[in-house]
């Protein structure tokens, strides 16, 4: 196809050889399938700020660090230079989050840099090599739903252990390839420690996922992963290896956080013992 204007500089620099087709045009960006040497990749071209929707909202930007003093001051003033800087921060937030998450073992597309508002990353594909469907486009058995739900909960935990909350996680921002769910679309990712809205965003992300999978496995509705994950995070006890139970004991009369943690710990031990019994049973 004809090379879109925004991708032309990447072609001139030899980063992209060919633009094969347009994949999607979303609210925030247009996504193309491109050829880079022998690799088929994906180029996400961000729309200009004025054409974007909600995601740049103040809520998400809180706590985003801008190290350079001149940049930070310009952004506060809202001058033309300031707006350009703001735009750069926004456009680089996704590639930075992707590198960090890929390193932490979260299933995201491997990024290959961001150049002039164009993010290059691996194309997630199905078994036939076509662009992978979104979670919203697939249906599944109850067993598969429980498995994929837990898988995503563990990815959310991994993200949080490196300080990131997705902030817009839904069945539209998760792709499914032959190995399971892959998380995408992170320009709004939030710094868990620096943003006061991180907790409510994490709760919303987790609950979105749980209600999506509940349509296939209704028993998931009763789980309380969101509260469990945040309680462990606040206590500094969340690690990539944490085994979640989906249980959270909410006792309004218990004000001592230590007591609550003891209860969670007891639930976890019980869960682990059950798992162990199951494994022994299967062997
Ligand atoms: N790495 C990828 N591999 C395969 N498909 C992708 C990839 N990245 C994005 N897509 C496709 O492009 C669509 C839009 O991407 P993304 O969600 O990142 O952008 P967006 O502008 O925020 O879109 P929306 O507003 O629809 O959420 C995705 O729903 C997905 O179908
Ligand atoms: Mg999206």
Domain chopping of the chain, boundaries:
8-234
Number of CB atoms found within 10 A of residue 180's CB: 15
Contacts of 246 (CB under 8 A, 6+ apart): 153, 223, 224, 225, 228
What residue owns the CA closest to ligand 1's atom 9? 31
Distance 24 CA to ligand 2 centre (A): 10
pLDDT, position 222:
96
Backbone angles phi, psi at 264, to 5 degrees: -65, -40
Phi, psi for 96 (deg, rounded to 5): -65, -45
Q: Between 142-161 and 198-214, two packed helices, what is the crossing angle to 10 degrees? A: 170
| Ligand with smallest separation from the Cα of 120 | 1
**Cα 102 from Cα 108, distance rounded (Å):** 6
Per-residue DSSP letter, 130 = S
Alpha helix positions (H), 142-197: 142-161
Tens-digit pLDDT string for the chain (283 aa):
899 999 999 999 999 999 999 999 988 899 999 999 999 999 999 988 766 665 556 677 777 766 677 667 666 666 677 777 777 777 789 999 999 999 999 999 999 999 999 999 999 999 999 999 999 999 999 999 999 999 999 999 999 999 999 999 999 999 999 999 999 999 999 999 999 999 999 999 999 999 999 999 999 999 999 999 999 999 999 999 999 999 988 766 656 777 778 888 888 888 888 888 777 776 6
Q: Which two tokens stand for residue 130?
A: 């076509």
**Nearest ligand, CA of residue 97?**
1
Enumerate residues 6+ apart whose C-beta is below 8 A from 253: none
Task: Find the ligand nearest to 31 CA.
Answer: 1
The helix or strand, by DSSP H or E, that contains position 119, with its residue range, turns out to be strand 118-122
Rounded alpha-carbon distances, angstroms, from residue 37 to 3, 14, 130, 192: 16, 9, 18, 37
- The 8-class DSSP code of residue 24 comes to E
Q: What are phi and psi of 113, to 5 degrees?
A: 100, 165
| pLDDT for 38 | 96
Q: Which CATH superfamily is domain 8-234 in?
A: Transferase(Phosphotransferase) domain 1 (1.10.510.10)
Query: Could you tell me how far CA 150 lies from the centroid of its own chain?
Result: 15
3-state secondary structure of 202: helix
User: Closest ligand 1 atom to the C-alpha of 186?
Assistant: 18
Residue 212 CA neighbour count, 13 Å, CB half: 26
- pLDDT given for residue 237 in this prediction: 95
Task: Give the ligand 1 atom nearest the CA of 55.
Answer: 22
Look up the pTM and report it: 0.84
Q: What is the pLDDT of residue 54?
A: 55
Q: Where would I find the beta strands (DSSP E) of 4-38? A: 18-25, 29-36
CA distances from 69 to 13, 79, 89, 265 (A): 31, 15, 14, 45
Lining ligand 1 with CB less than 6 A are 23-24, 26-29, 31, 42, 44, 109, 121, 123-124, 131-132, 134, 172-173, 175, 184-185
- 266 CB-near residues (< 8 Å, 6+ apart): none
């Amino acid at each position: 196809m004809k090379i879109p204007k925004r991708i032309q500089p990447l072609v001139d620099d030899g980063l992209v050889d060919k633009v094969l087709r347009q994949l999607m045009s979303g609210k925030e960006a247009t996504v193309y399938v491109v050829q880079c040497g022998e690799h088929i990749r994906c180029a996400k071209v961000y729309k200009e700020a004025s054409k974007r929707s909600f995601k740049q909202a103040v809520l998400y930007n809180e706590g985003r660090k801008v190290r350079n003093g001149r940049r930070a001051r310009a952004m506060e003033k809202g001058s033309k230079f300031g707006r350009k800087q703001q735009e750069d921060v926004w456009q680089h937030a996704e590639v930075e989050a992707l590198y960090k998450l890929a390193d932490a073992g979260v299933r995201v597309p491997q990024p290959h840099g961001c150049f002039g508002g164009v993010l290059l990353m691996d194309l997630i594909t199905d078994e036939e090599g076509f662009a992978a469907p979104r979670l919203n486009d697939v249906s599944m058995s109850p067993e598969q739903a429980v498995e994929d739900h837990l898988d995503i909960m563990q990815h959310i935990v991994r993200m949080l252990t490196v300080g990131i909350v997705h902030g817009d996680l839904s069945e539209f921002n998760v792709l499914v390839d032959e190995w399971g769910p892959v998380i995408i679309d992170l320009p709004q990712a939030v710094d868990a420690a620096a943003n006061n809205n991180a907790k409510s965003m994490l709760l919303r992300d987790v609950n979105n996922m749980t209600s999506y999978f509940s349509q296939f496995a209704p028993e998931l509705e009763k789980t309380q992963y969101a509260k469990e994950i945040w309680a462990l995070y606040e206590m500094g006890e969340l690690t990539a290896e944490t085994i979640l139970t989906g249980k959270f004991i909410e006792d309004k009369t218990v004000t001592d956080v230590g007591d609550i943690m003891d209860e969670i710990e007891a639930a976890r031990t019980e869960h682990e013992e059950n798992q162990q019994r199951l494994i022994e049973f299967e062997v």
